């Protein structure tokens, strides 16, 4: 079975990428194939990368208070491009009151500040394994 492929992205005008780079490194060190898009991506460019790279998951880091727009537009674009089998997750500075709304938009999991690398790795391994086992992913 091929390694889990994850696109890690920074969307919008948020130029703070340390957290995204840390998560990318943690995933890479755990055996994932990681594609880091760099800064200032649009939902469309993130989804295009996920499609091109045959990603199992897309992780977005948002620290700019644009989380509702970024995640909902990315989820919409993923559905539009037929990527219903690709897991959308993310993290950053997200008010706890917005988490449920974002999950309703299609975000599978949000990791807030203080989440450990091993927690992200374990969750993503389980989520992708379940998605692949269901026959709708990877």
Structure tokens at 123: 């969750």
pTM: 0.94
- What mean pLDDT value characterizes the chain? 94
Mean pLDDT of 19-39: 96
What 14-19 contacts at long range (C-beta under 8 Å, 24+ apart), as own/partner pairs, is: 14/39, 14/61, 14/62, 14/63, 14/64, 14/66, 15/39, 15/40, 16/63, 16/64, 17/61, 19/61, 19/63, 19/91, 19/92
Mean pLDDT of 22-31: 97
User: What distance in Å separates the CA atoms of residue 67 and residue 73, rounded to the nearest whole number?
Assistant: 10
How confident is the model at residue 54, as a pLDDT? 97
User: What distance in Å separates the CA atoms of residue 50 and residue 35, rounded to the nearest whole number?
Assistant: 9
How confident is the model at residue 136, as a pLDDT? 58
- Ordered by where they begin, the domains of the chain are 5-133 (3.40.50.280)
At 113-138, the pLDDT tens digits run 999 999 999 999 999 999 999 975 54
At 64-100, the pLDDT tens digits run 889 999 999 999 999 999 999 999 999 999 999 999 9
Helical residues (DSSP H) of 9-116, grouped into ranges = 18-29, 43-52, 67-80, 96-105
């Amino acid at each position: 079975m091929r390694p889990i492929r994850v696109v890690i992205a920074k969307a919008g005008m948020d130029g703070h990428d340390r957290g995204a780079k840390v998560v990318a490194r943690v995933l890479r060190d755990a055996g994932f194939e990681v594609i880091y898009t760099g800064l200032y991506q649009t939902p469309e460019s993130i989804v295009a990368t996920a499609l091109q790279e045959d990603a199992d998951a897309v992780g977005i880091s948002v620290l700019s208070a644009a989380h509702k727009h970024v995640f909902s537009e990315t989820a919409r674009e993923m559905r539009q491009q037929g990527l219903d089998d690709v897991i959308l997750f993310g993290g950053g500075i997200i008010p706890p009151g917005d988490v449920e709304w974002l999950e309703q938009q299609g975000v599978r999991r949000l990791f807030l500040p203080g989440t450990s690398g091993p927690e992200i790795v374990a969750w993503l391994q389980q989520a992708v394994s379940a998605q692949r086992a269901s026959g709708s992913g990877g």
